[in-house]
Amino acid sequence: MLLCHRSHEARASGLSILVASPSTTKPYATGTLDLLKKHLSSFHEDVDPKIRYDVLGHSRNIIRRLLNSIDTLQKESVRVSMAAVKKSGLTSDDKDLVSKAGGMNLNEIQEAPATYAAASSLKKLGDHQQFIEWYADFLTGELVPTASYQRHITSLRAMYYFLKSGLVNGDETSIIQPPVCYLVNDTWFRSVLDLIMDPYDDVRETAASLIALIVPGKPMSGPPAKIRGLSCCPFEELQIFCQKANELALKTARADHCDGAARSQELLCRWSSNANEATEVLEAVLTNLEQKLYAAERDLATAVLQAPVHGDFASLG
């Protein structure tokens, strides 16, 4: 089995062979999805950056093909099922069930009558939906604080591809569920926010870019209305995080904490619904900066340790 071979090159080649296809809409075989579930985590924690870079290239293609396959299978299932309805003369209740086939989960698929001509497509659809939900949970699980840098950065960058993935050829009539709905929930949101304070610069940058991605549009377009599982408003949660980030940066005076605090302030400004809210964020930063500069005028040596200003200047930048 190449996927668990000692050689990094052999493992990477095995993954490439497993997922490669000239078609971006061809469904994966069930065995392929099972192998990805079993071995994908080992690629995420590989210490060789070239291997992780190659895996990310495959991840982008896997995500695109998964979403496109789900979209294709949903349309095919509805089309074939409706054709079967016309030929078989099912009852009105059965017709209603068939018309909802595109949104059925695997349990519902298994309970569906054997007379459905789309049983094979529905089974494949269920397998792909289950896998993409597993994949979203897997990526979120890689963000735990105890995970290595390799797992953090690989998962974050795969998530970026996940959230950037669109519909097949920009087809606005597609009935596919938006990728963001598979991934974004309260656990994901808080985990990504925590990584904005990570010691590694590329982790902080990628984490901040993910938060920005869940609100498409220009700055000051407002925060997301709701995040699944989050009890409070996302904007309020971000405000609380910004306050804690600033307190941590003030306490430690570490460059990475100050940079993380600055990035969180930028996100808060980006999430503002109007110019007044953005101005309030800016005024808070300026007020804090003035207080620190005043402290530096009184006692520079103490201010260097207890009132670092590089985070505030980064926020203004």
Q: Could you tell me the pTM of the whole model?
A: 0.79
Give the 3-state secondary structure percentages of the chain, helix then strand then coil, rounded to 5: 75, 0, 25
pLDDT at 147: 93
* Helices and strands of the chain, counted as H and E runs: 15, 0
Distance in angstroms (rounded) separating the CA atoms of residues 281 and 51 = 41
Please compute, for residue 98, the number of CA atoms within 13 A of its CA located in the half-sphere on the CB side.
Answer: 26
pLDDT at 187: 93
Element (H, E) at 242: helix 234-252
Report the Cα 280 to chain-centroid distance in Å. 29
Torsion from C-alpha of 255, 259, 260, 264, nearest 10 degrees: 150
- The DSSP symbol for 252 reads H
pLDDT by 10-residue block (mean), the chain, 317 residues: 70 81 86 90 86 87 87 79 61 50 49 52 86 93 94 94 64 53 89 95 94 72 78 88 88 87 87 74 74 73 68 63
Q: What DSSP letter does each residue of 84-147 carry, written as one string? A: HHHHHT--HHHHHHHHTGGG--HHHHHHS-TT-TTHHHHHHHHHHHHHHHHHHHHHHHTTSTTS
Place of tokens 């493992």: 11
Chain segment 172-225, per-residue pLDDT in tens: 444 445 667 788 899 999 999 999 999 999 999 999 999 988 876 666 666 777
Contact 139, 179 (CB under 8 A): no
pLDDT at 117: 45
Distance in angstroms (rounded) separating the CA atoms of residues 247 and 229 = 26
pLDDT at 168: 41
pLDDT at 317: 60
pLDDT at 74: 82
Domain ranges of the chain: 1-181, 184-317
Which tokens sit at 233? 């408003």
Contact 73, 27 (CB under 8 A): yes
Contact 70, 124 (CB under 8 A): no
pLDDT at 192: 95
pLDDT at 109: 46
Which tokens sit at 32? 């392929």
